[in-house]
Chain A
């Protein structure tokens, strides 16, 4: 701090002390700084203002209105004190509790501050409630209150998560889910890929995570793809029809087809064989 600034602060401090002395009466007019001499005179004038009502004068009836007012005030005070209940000492006797007859004017800043605080508290509480972190009764109360506005908040004891999870694909649910995925109207190859089901989405996600298609993912739980007998039968039928329609066409192709399929198609294969056998005499006949 440079010396001029220090001098300035010191002089300001001494000025304040002088002002305090002037107002408390410990500093006389002669001791006051020269520029404050008129002020000390002014303070003296203020201190010597008459103790009676300034401007008090007699009214038209010759009664001094200020004296009359004073007398009536004293009478009213005496009446109040005479009727007053037993006194009770104040701890801080001269600090009067302030009960304003006119309400305190609204402070816009305070109103805004209080509103912001209330809003922040509400938001905080709703946040805690939606996370399910409030104590039981408070959680229930907020859940009930907000449900009136269509906002779903879990009640106490419920899990905070409200979205469906779907079955765990590591357990026996996998088989059922895979069956369901490829059953019904779903595409036999890609399953119900367009479904909104959370379970099916989980299945697809799990398959993608394993780097497989859903069909490959489900291969271990679904029955092995069987030779579809309906296909063989259809072909046999077609073969029979063609045989019927076009005599002389070869039966061996069909016969070799059946041979390539397994045991399950034996019966029908025999049937077709019998047709083939039937056709052989025709062929041989021709």
Chain B
């Protein structure tokens, strides 16, 4: 749901604190940001997403650019929130229960729909989570943020060649992983 031509007008309104404009920007990217954070942090991803958007609001008055630039801007902040989260996790002595273990006990909506949608989602997330962190990071930034290899390299502080090698390894590993579990394209498509 890209804003296209309206982006400049929405951005201008959002900078002055218009709630409808802020809401448009949020709705445009909240899903990819949430998925990006959820795959890489099994818990607290909702808090991380909220913190990311609050940081976006703080930095937005100084932002200038097109819609693609805004996408990169938001994912740069999300990436840095994630780094913060990982450092915090390393210092913390407790190990919170992953949200996946609690979800089945929560009140549910449409069980059948959730089951159908959830299998593909969980399968995809599980495969990505099985990757080494740097490979997963590159893959997710390319898929969800739509960044080029050069832009991902700049964001992660790596060389573009390194990013290309990492993404190639990630895809090769994913292919081997899917072959090992005998997951065919048809099965994934059917889900």
Contact = CB atoms under 8 A, between A and B. Distances in A.
Interface string B125-168: 00110000000000100111000110000100000000011011
B10 interface: no
Interface string A1-25: 0000000000000011001101110
Nearest to A71: B23
Interface in A175-233: none
Contacts of B57: 76-78, 80-81
25 contacts: A16-B165, A22-B171, A23-B143, A24-B148, A35-B179, A38-B174, A39-B171, A42-B174, A46-B35, A47-B143, A49-B35, A53-B30, A54-B35, A70-B30, A73-B49, A74-B22, A76-B53, A77-B53, A81-B57, A82-B17, A89-B62, A94-B69, A94-B76, A98-B80, A102-B88
Contacts of B154: 95
B58 interface: yes
Given A35-B175, A38-B184, A42-B127, A90 B46 contact: no
Top 3 A-B residue pairs of the complex, sorted by shortest distance between their CB atoms:
A82-B17, A51-B31, A87-B61
A68 to B, nearest CB: 11
A238 interface: no
Nearest to B58: A80
Interface in A43-93: 43-47, 49-55, 57-60, 66, 69-70, 73-90, 93
Interface string B21-44: 011001100111011001000000
Nearest to B178: A38
Given A74-B23, A93-B63, A57 B106 contact: yes
A93 B11 CA distance: 14
Given A20-B167, A38-B188, A51-B30, A43 B61 contact: no
Given A15-B168, A49-B31, A69-B46, A41 B143 contact: no
B112 interface: no
A249 B189 CA distance: 149
- Max chain B Cβ within 10 angstroms of own Cβ: one of A73, A94, A95, A104: A94
A111 interface: no
Given A46-B124, A82-B16, A38 B62 contact: no
A101 interface: yes
B137 to A, nearest CB: 13
B34 A54 contact: yes
Interface in A145-189: none
A96 B103 CA distance: 35
A29, A76, A102 interface centre (most CB from chain B within 10 Å): A102
Given A16-B168, A88-B62, A46 B22 contact: no
A83 B15 CA distance: 10
A285 interface: no
B35 A102 contact: no
A41 B189 contact: yes
Contact of B179 (A38, A50, A86): A38
B136 to A, nearest CB: 11
Contacts of A76: 53-54, 57
A40 interface: yes
A36 B168 CA distance: 11
A57 B110 CA distance: 9
A76 B50 CA distance: 10
Nearest to A72: B50
Nearest to A79: B17
A52 B31 contact: yes
A100 interface: yes
A105 interface: yes
A93 B65 contact: yes
B168 A41 contact: no
B53 A51 contact: no
A116 to B, nearest CB: 25
A255 B164 CA distance: 121
A74 B76 CA distance: 19
A37 interface: yes
B55 to A, nearest CB: 8
Given A24-B148, A45-B120, A94-B69, A60 B56 contact: no
A75 B58 CA distance: 13
B87 A104 contact: yes
Contacts of B87: 100, 102-105
A73 B103 CA distance: 23
B174 A96 contact: no
